[in-house]
Amino acid sequence: MATWGRQAVVLGFGILVGGWLFDDTQPRSLLKIGNACGATCARFSDIAGLAASVGIQHIPQAMPLAVKENATCIAIRHPYSPHRYHFVFFPKRDIRNVGDIAAGDEPFVMGCLALMRMLITEHGLVSYRMYSNGPLEQDITYLHFHLVSD
């Protein structure tokens, strides 16, 4: 009987931790498998987006290659870019892409633009591109902006 008690405690703890971790994430279709689900099947980018959401919202200080952060956004150096400067900006709210921006998301998007401005000024960038990929072009299903300069 003691084994059942421990298992119940572990299950309850798992439910509480899971609820806390995924409380502020956008729903993603992770359980659909096979071709029957079509475009709604889970892709690697969806799983990566879910992991990014949990990390950015709950432990942003653990983000690898982080260069700057404010209350609403975190900027990292792109790990595989051939460009001299390539920063990626993640709002600290789970938004999948530009098409999913809703009322209340403005401070998070503006926070990313503020960080971009800081890095542009810091590095004296005058020739640069800023972009965000659409849903089918994203490697991570989580809104992020790129700032690129050579």
Domain that holds residue 36: 2-149
Q: What is the pLDDT of residue 122?
A: 97
In total, how many domains does the chain have? Answer: 1
Say if residue 149's pLDDT is above 80: yes
The Cα 71–Cα 74 span in angstroms is 8
pLDDT in tens, 75-125: 999 999 999 999 999 999 989 899 999 999 999 999 999 999 999 999 999
Q: Give me the CATH number covering residue 81.
A: 3.30.428.10
SS3 content of the chain, % helix, strand, coil (to 5): 45, 15, 40
pLDDT in tens, 55-78: 777 666 777 788 999 999 999 999
26 vs 91 pLDDT, higher one = 91
Say if residue 18's pLDDT is above 80: no
Residue with token string 């099947």 = 41
